[in-house]
A and B are shown apart, each in its own frame.
Chain A
Amino acid sequence: MSPGDLASALPMLRIRGVTKSFPGVVANDSVDLDIRRGEVHTLLGENGAGKSTLAAMLAGLYRPDSGTMVLDGKPVNFANPREAQSRGIGMVHQHFRLVERFTVAENIALGDTSQPWKLDTRALESDVQRIGEEFGLPVRPDARISDLSVGERQRVEIVKTLYRGAEVLLLDEPTAVLTPQEVDALFVTVRAMRESGKAVVFISHKLVEVMAISDVVTVLRAGKVTGTVQTRDTNQAELARLMVGREVELSSLRAMGVRGSALLSVSCVGLVASKRHVLRDISFDVHGGEIVGIAGVSGNGQRELAETIAGIRAPSTGSISVASQSVGGKGPRKTRAAGLSFVPEDRLGTGLAPSMSIAENLLLTRPRSLFISKRKVQAEAAQIIADYDVKAPGPDAVTSLLSGGNSQKVLLARELAASGDGATSNHVLVVASPTRGLDIGATESIRKRLDDLRQRGGAVLLISEDLEEVLALSDRVLVIYDGAMVYECDGASADRTTIGLAMAGAIATENSGHV
């Protein structure tokens, strides 16, 4: 057997019985994993399944409590990420680690101890250029990070990792921030890396992507490996079952009842912030009994739109009304009093005061009397914990110690409480990225609550960067790009490609009339 055959037959990285605990939780429980050259290996699992912990151990960010990691036949125990890097393991984090004011080349050189004391910018830039061409990663080495889009920044991260000689690339949820077109481009790169004999570890919880890109899938659930399968021998349903441990169907939910009157009307709203047009002439209505979804890549004005509707910002032009009452610019309290609730994207920190208890957080959006009474909210908090199956020690639990799903349940419960608990409702609910970072169980429960409000006649405006979510819930879909509504379509018959193009700004604003 030639050495080459041996190399491809034996795994490059062999992990046996790796366990890692954090106080109160076993993040990885005797995990076995084989990573081979020229292979795209997906780590699939829900949030909290232990994918990121495992990757972090490979990258030298954590040390395993027990177990072995063998790289190219030699046992390794990385003390820090630099050690892992020097052995050819590089990680592209979900949250980029780039200095905005530096150029691409400077960022790549940053922290690289093999650089000479005086930076040879020209050599560096040509290397960056060469790596970019080889792997289909077009980047301009002299561009400043602050001028780059999210997709471009990700490319810089990948180039940085390759430049430092990574043979194993760990990509932590790389598609979370990308448009469908950018995802396609990323996959071209991933394939190029596979062709050149590198090992790619792809971390994801999106089944479609996993099926499209990987050769092997290892599924994690609650810190344990529930299965390792060849992609060609499996299907989405099996992976989903391995991932959640039961058959689940995140089915689409649509309006069943009749569409009511317009409960939320946004007309010709524009917003100028820091001398920049953040929102441009936005008009749409949300009727009772429907969910209107706003899709878009993050940073195209979604946050500002939600805050303007919720009364946190005053629109520069145009008007907003809730249940026929004009509320634009009247502040969050008046807007709420008119019948609108808002679940912001940033749960802990905006929607909830992090170091306050669940009970105290219920007071945040309530009308408060001069003296606050803790007893009343105490009982209500206990009720919410029971009704929403919130995993918390009690009403006095501090919200920052809750998991993402549990804090979202508290937040949604509080905002839905204003919609009344009767069979009908004429309440407006604005939700931003309601299930981001949540596991399937919590996602399902949150989506059901939104659907329930719709079926009771409430109006829901769903703003989300997760296109799947928008498509799964919305009766109508709007696409926001650069602060303007650029596309509208029916939710059930939506065409993904067209929406993707609209999200990327490839469709001009001819559709942006009153919807």
Chain B
Amino acid sequence: MRVASIDVRLERRLAVWRGTALLVTSGSLLLALVVGGIFLKLTGHPPLDVYRELAKTAYFNWYGFTDTLGASTPLVLTGLAAAVGFKMNLYNIGAEGQLFLGGIASAWAGIAIVPGMPGPLAVLTVMFAGALGGAAWAFIPALTRAYFNTSEIVTTLMFNFIGLYLMQYLIQGSYSYWRDPKIVGFPQGKEIVDAARLPHWNFPADSMFGIAFPPGRTQVHLGLAFGVIAALGLWVLIERTRFGYGVRVTGDSPAAARYAGISIRGSIIVVMLISGALAGLAGAGIVAGQGYKLDPGGLAVALGYTGIVVAALARSNPFAVVVVAVLLGGLRTGADNMQSAPDNLKIPVAIAGMLEGAVLICALGGELFRTHRISVRRVPSNSDREEHLSGAVGVGVSP
């Protein structure tokens, strides 16, 4: 039989098998690597060698892996910030700005209120201040969304710019409380007190699991624990509490929420505040765990936006957010570490951002295949069809 045309259609899957999600996600990641590989090839880098080196420096090397965990810490929190909103179809694009405000608030706390406090209390106070700062920055978009139905996508995005310029003004544009007056030349923030700094994990001097460790300080700090606890807490809140139930119902169908007497307004405001607080914590973690001061350059590296990618890839599952954050964090670390690699592997740092983008696009595209499948059918040519149709009863119209 001659094939005249091939009929390709998308059909909805009746039931989504759990494994499909994993398969589609892995497939999307693979496709993203292929797309990235094409770019690498075009810019004259051997893709396979680059990827191998990237993986080695980011994951399969203790220094690299701890660097990755350090870089992932804020991503875990901004990822959770985006994920909690996604649970009720609330798109908080403002984790970026909320992170800045968290940084500003925690730096202030670290300079102004914690001196004299014992270590643990100082740390908690600084982190709490960060969460509060982030939540405050989310509060106004939350109110306008809840009461005037303004798009939170637009308002939170605008607030990112206000937050960014506010932060830059505090350090570079004025002699504010946050700026260190003693430093002349390039303006820098005032350092927070020692007690408020997040402790780092140090390699044990000898060995663990039979592997010898080189001693020394790593990039892994207590902020990671905040991230993991936040993931656990968020899961319990969403899946196991009355409030989380209301959030899920509202996300699924606002009409059902209204019918059940669930306060949609209340859910919007609380979810936005939680989201902002998580992003604020990310900012506080950077201030108290990495820079020890308000450092616009260290904070404004698109951690909030990448958090959205993390949440989307993790399909808003808090535990998956942790895993995906580590994966994407590794991309950043790997690209950074490869600056010291041989020339043909020295890739631009921007390649990490490009790969992030490719991963997101492939994952969002892949989402379609999680819920749908492709059916390909050969349609017989016209003359064929006529013969069949005019023949006996019950001949196949299409195979």
Residue B385 at the A interface, CB < 8 A? yes
* Residues of B contacting A208 in the complex (Cβ-Cβ under 8 angstroms): none
Which B residues lie within 8 Å of A77 (CB)?
385, 389, 397-398
A378 to chain B, nearest CB (A): 14
Decide if B249 touches A364 in the complex (CB within 8 Å): yes
For residue B259, CB closer than 8 A to chain A, the reply is yes
Across the interface, do B398 and A353 meet the contact criterion of CB distance under 8 Å? no
Asked if A379 is at the interface (CB within 8 A of a chain B CB), the reply is no
Closest A residue to B241 by CB, please name it: A371
Chain B proximity of A515: nearest CB distance (Å): 27
Choose from B252, B258, B385 the contact partner of A312 (Cβ within 8 Å): B258
List CB contacts (< 8 Å) of B192-206 with chain A. Answer: none
A60-68, A111-119, A319-327, A490-498: which lies at the B interface? A60-68
Give residues 26-80 of A contacting B (CB, 8 Å). Answer: 30, 63-68, 70, 75, 77
A66–B15 CB distance below 8 A = no
Cβ of B26 under 8 Å from chain A: no
Q: Which residue of B lies closest to A332 (CB)?
A: B261
Cβ of A248 within 8 Å of any chain B Cβ, yes or no, is: no
Residues of chain A within 8 A (CB-CB) of B386 are 75
**A65 proximity list for chain B (CB < 8 A):** 396-398
* B240 contact set on A, CB distance < 8 A: 371-372
Among B240, B261, B386, which residue has the most Cβ atoms of chain A within 10 A?
B261
B residues in contact with A364, CB < 8 Å: 249, 256, 259-260
Contact partner, B252, options A311, A332, A356, A372, Cβ 8 Å? A356
Q: Given A368-B242, A372-B242: A349 and B394 within 8 A (CB)?
A: no
B247 to chain A, nearest CB (A): 11
Q: How far, in angstroms, from A16 to B395 measured CA to CA in the complex? A: 10
Give min CB distance, A69 to chain B, whole Å. Answer: 8
* Interfacial residues of chain A within 351-390, with CB under 8 A of chain B in the complex: 351-356, 360, 363-365, 368-372
Q: Which of chain B's residues 253-280 have a Cβ closer than 8 Å to chain A?
A: 253, 255-256, 258-261
Determine whether A164 belongs to the interface, using a CB cutoff of 8 Å to chain B. Answer: no
Total contacts A-B at CB 8 Å? 95
Inter-subunit contact B14/A23 (CB<8 Å): yes
Tier of interface size on chain B: 20 to 34
Query: Which residue of chain A is the closest to B250 with respect to CB atoms?
Result: A353
B241, A68: Cβ atoms closer than 8 Å: no
Distance between B264 CB and nearest chain A CB, rounded to angstroms: 12
A353 with B389: in contact, given A23-B14, A63-B398, A401-B14 (CB under 8 Å)? no
Most chain A CB within 10 A, of B14, B249, B253, B259, is at B259
Which residues does chain B contribute within 8 Å of A370, judged by CB atoms?
241-242
A353 to B397, Cβ gap below 8 A? Answer: no
Contact in complex: B241, A333 (CB < 8 Å):
no
A344 close to chain B: CB less than 8 A: yes
How far is it, in angstroms, between the C-alpha of A368 and the C-alpha of B245 when the chains are bound?
9
Q: Which of B228-242 contact A (CB under 8 A)?
A: 240-242
- Docked Cα-Cα span, A352 to B252, in Å, equals 10
User: B394 to A350, Cβ gap below 8 A?
Assistant: no
Q: Would A356 and B389 be within 8 Å (CB), given that A23-B14, A66-B396 are in contact?
A: no
A351 touches B241 (CB 8 A): no
- A135 at the A/B interface (Cβ < 8 Å)? no
Bound Cα distance from A312 to B389, whole angstroms: 57
- Interface residues in A, total, Cβ within 8 A: 42
* B396: chain A residues within 8 A (beta carbon): 65-66
Nearest A residue to B11 via CB reads A23
Contact B15 A401 (CB under 8 A): yes
Q: Which residue of B lies closest to A363 (CB)?
A: B245
- Assess whether A353 is in contact with B242, with CB atoms less than 8 Å apart: no
Contact of A3 with B by CB under 8 A: no
Residue numbers in B under 8 Å from A336 (CB-CB) = 261
Please name the residue on chain B nearest to A310 by beta carbon.
Answer: B259
Question: In the bound complex, do residue A63 and residue B397 qualify as a contact, i.e. CB atoms below 8 Å apart?
Answer: yes
| Across-interface contacts of A63 in B (CB, < 8 A) | 397-398
Residues on A with C-beta less than 8 A from B398 are 63, 65, 77
Whether A369 contacts B261 by the Cβ 8 Å rule is no
User: B370 an interface residue at 8 Å Cβ cutoff?
Assistant: no
Q: Is A17 an interface residue (CB 8 A)?
A: yes
Give, as a whole number of angstroms, the nearest-CB distance from B239 to chain A: 9
B42 contacts partner chain A, Cβ-Cβ < 8 Å: no
Chain B residue at minimal CB-CB distance from A335: B261
Identity of the chain B residue whose Cβ is nearest the Cβ of A365 in the assembled complex: B260
Give complex CA distance A364, B257 in Å: 8
Cα–Cα, bound, A23→B13 (Å): 9
Cα of A16 to Cα of B394 in the assembled complex, Å: 7
- Are A75 and B256 in contact (CB-based, < 8 A)? no
| Interface residue? B344 (CB, 8 A) | no
Contact (A66, B394) CB under 8 Å given A332-B261, A333-B261: yes
Give 1 or 0 for each of B39-59: 1 = CB within 8 Å of chain A CB.
000000000000000000000
Q: Which of A75, A331, A342, A368 interacts with B389 by CB under 8 Å? A: A75
B386 to chain A, nearest CB (A): 6
What A residues does B395 contact at CB under 8 A? 66, 68
Given A77-B389, A352-B256, A67 and B397 touching (CB < 8 A)? Answer: yes
Contact A70 B389 (CB under 8 A): yes
Of residues 359 through 399 on chain B, the ones whose CB sits less than 8 Å from some CB of chain A are 385-386, 389-390, 393-398
Q: Is A184 on the interface with B (CB-CB < 8 A)?
A: no
Please give, as numbers and ranges, the residues of chain A lying within 8 Å of B221 by CB-CB distance: none
Residue contact B14 to A24, C-beta cutoff 8 Å: yes
Which of B11, B242, B252 is close to A355, meaning CB atoms less than 8 Å apart? B252
User: In the complex, A349→B253 CA distance in Å?
Assistant: 6
Instruction: Determine whether A133 belongs to the interface, using a CB cutoff of 8 Å to chain B.
Output: no
Contact in complex: B397, A66 (CB < 8 Å):
yes
Question: Is residue B248 contacting chain A, with contact meaning CB distance below 8 A?
Answer: yes
Contacting A351 at CB < 8 Å: which of B11, B242, B256, B397?
A: B256
Contact of B249 among A68, A346, A356 (CB under 8 A): A356
* Closest B residue to A330 using CB positions: B261
Closest CB in chain A relative to B242 CB, distance in Å: 4
Q: Which residues of B contact A350 (CB under 8 A)?
A: 253, 255-256, 258-259
Interface string of B193-226 (1 = CB under 8 A from A): 0000000000000000000000000000000000
| Given A65-B398, A364-B260, A75-B253 contact (CB < 8 Å) | no
Nearest-CB residue, chain B, relative to A17: B394
A356-B259 in contact given A77-B397, A401-B15 (Cβ < 8 Å): no
- The 5 A-B residue pairs with the shortest CB-CB distance in the complex, in nearest-first order: A75-B389, A332-B261, A17-B394, A333-B261, A350-B255
Binding site for A on B (CB under 8 A): 11, 14-15, 240-242, 245, 248-249, 252-253, 255-256, 258-261, 385-386, 389-390, 393-398
5 pairs, CB–CB < 8 Å, chain A vs chain B: A24-B14, A66-B396, A67-B393, A70-B389, A351-B256
18 further A-B pairs in the complex, CB-CB below 8 A; given A68-B394, A68-B395: A16-B393, A17-B393, A67-B393, A67-B397, A68-B397, A75-B386, A77-B389, A311-B261, A350-B258, A351-B259, A353-B256, A354-B252, A355-B252, A356-B249, A360-B245, A365-B259, A371-B240, A372-B241
